[in-house]
Structure 1
Amino acid sequence: MGKVRDRIEGVVIGQFLGFDDGGPLVVFPGNPQEKALPARSLAELSSDMIGQEVALLFEDCDPQKPLIVGRIVEPAKKSSGAQVFRDGERVRIHAEERLELRCGKATILMEADGRITIRGTYVASHASATNRMRGGSISLN
C-alpha cells in the first residue's frame, strides 16, 4: 500500500472496489488499513464502475474518511472499431465502414453504402406471414 500518512491534503487517485452495506469501498496509496475503506461520494457510482480509478479528497484531511469527488475518465478518442450500445431491451452495433458477422462458412456483411451480402452453404428464409422480396431489380439464379 505504501507509506501511511496521518494527514492527506489534496487529491489522491484511488480505486473503487465495490459496495458494502450500500456504501462505496475504496483503496488508495497511503491507506491506513490493509483493506478497503468505506467512503462517501459526490459522484453517482454503479457496479459496472468497479475497478475504475477515482479522485479522492479526505474530510478534515483524515485518511480514514475518504470522499469520492469523481471518477477518472480517459479523453474521448476517435473510435477505430465498432461501438456496441446496450439499453436492456436491444443491442445496437455501429461501425463506420463495414460490419461483418461470421460463423463457420456463414457470413453476413453490411457495407456503409447500404449493400448487405449474406453467404452460406445453405440459406433459408421462413415466414409465418408473407415473405416479400423487394428491390429496384431482383435477380434469381
Structure 2
Amino acid sequence: MKRDPSATDTELDPPRAPSLPDPAHAIGRIDGVVIGRVVRIDGGAVHVAFAGAPAQEVAARSLVAVTHSDNGRAAALSFEQADPRRPIVLGLIWQGAPTVSVDALPEKQMIVAEHELTLRCGEASITLTCDGKVLVRGAYVSTHAKGTNRIKGGSVRMN
C-alpha cells in the first residue's frame, strides 16, 4: 500500500471509540477511610453524608446493622473503587455509654436492670434501685400518691 505524502498520521489511524473518563476521576477519588454521618434509613437503605460527597446524602451499603436509632451517628466509610458515589459503612463510631431509642412502644414494655436504672432528660431524672428506692430529681417535681408521700425539697407545696 502506497502512502499519500499529504495525509497526516491521524487520517491513517483507524477510528477509535472516544475514551470515557473514569467515573471516580470525573468527580474525584476518595482513598482510605472517611468519617461521615448516618443521615437516615429509607426502606433498608442507609443514607450517609460526608466531606466530598457528590450530593447532600448518598445511599450506602453497610457491613454492620444500622437502624433508625443510629440516625445522626458518626460512621467509618470506605468507597468501592474510591468512588464517592459508592460508600460502604464499615462501622459506627463508639460514642460512650449505650442509649436506647424506641420508635414505637408496644402496649406494655418492661426494662430490667440488675442494680440501678436511671431515666434522664436534661435536669430531670428518675432512678430505681434494687433495694426498692425510687429517686426523683428535677427543677420542678409534681407527685401524686394513694399512700404515704414523703417529699424533700427546698420548699414543699401541698395540694
- Name the TM-score class by shorter chain: 0.5 to 0.7
| Pairwise CA distance, 1:56 | 0.1
Q: Within 5 Å, which residues of 2 pair with 1:43-122?
A: 43-75=64-96, 89-92=109-112, 93-94=117-118, 99-101=134-136, 103-104=141-142, 118-119=149-150
How many residues were matched structurally?
A: 104
For the 8 Å contact 1:16–1:25, the answer to whether it is kept is: yes
Larger displacement relative to structure 2 (61-70 or 83-92): 83-92
Structure 1 stretches lacking a partner, 5+ long: 77-82, 108-116, 123-141
Structure 2 stretches lacking a partner, 5+ long: 1-26, 119-126, 152-157
| Pairwise CA distance, 1:84 | 8.0
- Higher helix proportion, which one? 2
Q: Could you tell me which residue of structure 2 aligns to residue 29 of structure 1? A: 51
Flag as ranges the 4+ runs of structure 1 deviating above 4 A.
83-88, 94-99
Q: Counterpart of 1:70 in 2: which secondary structure?
A: strand
Tell me the TM-score normalised to structure 2 length: 0.52
**Which one-letter code corresponds to 1:37 in the other structure?**
V
Root-mean-square deviation (CA, aligned residues, Å) is 3.6
- Higher strand proportion, which one? 1
Q: Could you tell me which residue of structure 2 aligns to residue 13 of structure 1? A: 35
| Pairwise CA distance, 1:19 | 1.8
User: Deviations along 1:95-117, whole A, 9 cap, x unmatched?
Assistant: 5987512643669xxxxxxxxx8
The verdict on how the C-alpha distance between 1:6 and 1:84 changes in structure 2, with shifts beyond 3 A counting, is closer
Structure 1 Cα separation of the partners of residues 84 and 100 of structure 2 = 39
Q: Could you tell me which residue of structure 1 aligns to residue 155 of structure 2? A: none
| Pairwise CA distance, 1:21 | 3.5
Aligned sequence identity (%): 31
